[in-house]
Amino acid sequence: MGTENALYTILVEKIKQESLVLPTLPEVALRVREAADDPEINLGQMSEIISHDAALSMGMLKVANSAMLGRGIKVETVNQAVTRIGLRQIKSIATAMALEQVFISENEIVSMYLKKSWSKTVDVASVAISLMTFYLKKNKHSPLMLETVTLAALIHSIGVLPILTEAESHPDVFANPTFLQQAIIKLSSRVGAEVTKAWGLSEDFTEIVQTWSDLTILPEEVHYLDFIRSGAIYHNIFKNESTKETLLKRYVAKGIMPDVNFMESDEFKAMVSDVKTMFS
């Protein structure tokens, strides 16, 4: 059996046996999530936890001052940022901010793939967040939440990590990047769903990760999938032009965007650029 088929078989078998090595959440994200679940936690205590991590502190300040929250007065301390964002949102946003730490490897080739994957993830997330920001301005009573789409968009392709980690143990596979890409396409959604379960995320996140690329699943109501898929359209991850056109028309009909060219407007592009600074 060739290396390519062998690796594919190994991946599938490890998924079945639940023995595939899954990435773990950074420690600071775990601490924040645990604290957020404590009914006795207050803003000051949460600020103290976040302040111990410089990268997360900077991330929270960027979020608090971003167009996503639509505030004009600049916040300059972690306590101010946490107060503005609110405890309800902190859990998802802190997890999202810490995710970049997972996309690293000491292997040069794996590291290259991971950097590309993280960059593409941020691209999609920036569009999804921006589009929902515009949507929520006109649909203030929507049950959808920005912090949820933020985390969902940043983990939608998390299944790439275990696949690359496993491939790292089989260096011959890197002689054929095309196969590796195919393995990612075929398995990343399924593997990603297992990651969400291992991280203790809700079933909503598992569903999103498992189905975002399956265009046979088209929710009738406005759904987080719509925003993530809009990001995939914007960055040409979905290649078929008729598919993209059909989806865009569907999103206009659902009231997600005013017209099919909305994402090409200067206003929208400016929002995407602003949101993207949160992750850089």
pLDDT at position 152 is: 95
pLDDT tens for each residue of 95-109: 888 888 888 887 788
pLDDT at position 67 is: 67
Task: Report the C-alpha gap between 16 and 239 in whole angstroms.
Answer: 31
Q: Is residue 202 part of a domain?
A: yes
- Give the pLDDT mean for 41-62: 89
Q: Choose between 229 and 200: higher pLDDT.
A: 229
Residue 44 C-alpha from the chain's centroid? 28
pLDDT tens for each residue of 69-82: 666 688 889 999 88
Q: Is residue 116 part of a domain?
A: yes
Q: Is residue 48 part of a domain?
A: no
- Give the pLDDT mean for 30-37: 89
CATH of residue 140's domain is: 1.10.3210.10
pLDDT at position 231 is: 97
Give the residue carrying structure tokens 């949820």. 148
Contacts of 269 (CB under 8 A, 6+ apart): 263
Domain of 241 in residue numbering reads as: 3-19+102-279
- The residue among 107, 186, 191 whose CA lies nearest residue 155 is 191
Q: Is residue 75 part of a domain?
A: no
Q: What is the pTM of this model?
A: 0.86
pLDDT at position 4 is: 53
The three-state secondary structure class of 25 is coil
Tally of structural domains, the chain = 1
Q: Is residue 68 part of a domain?
A: no
Between CA 150 and CA 118, with CA 54 as vertex, the angle to 5 degrees is 40
66 pLDDT band, cuts 50/70/90, is confident
Tokens of 18: 């639940």
Whether residue 203 is predicted with pLDDT greater than 90 in this model: the reply is yes
Q: Is 198 exposed, middle or buried (0-12, 13-18, 19+ CB in 10 A)?
A: middle
- The residue among 187, 227, 266 whose CA lies nearest residue 13 is 187
Task: Report the C-alpha gap between 60 and 40 in whole angstroms.
Answer: 22
Give the mean pLDDT of the chain: 88
pLDDT tens for each residue of 223-278: 999 999 999 999 999 999 999 999 999 999 999 999 999 999 999 999 999 888 88
Whether residue 53 is predicted with pLDDT greater than 60 in this model: the reply is yes
- The residue among 100, 91, 117, 93 whose CA lies nearest residue 37 is 91
Q: Is residue 90 part of a domain?
A: no
- Give the pLDDT mean for 127-138: 95
- Least trusted range by pLDDT, from 12-16, 74-78, 117-121, 222-226: 12-16
Q: Is residue 7 part of a domain?
A: yes
Q: Is residue 146 part of a domain?
A: yes
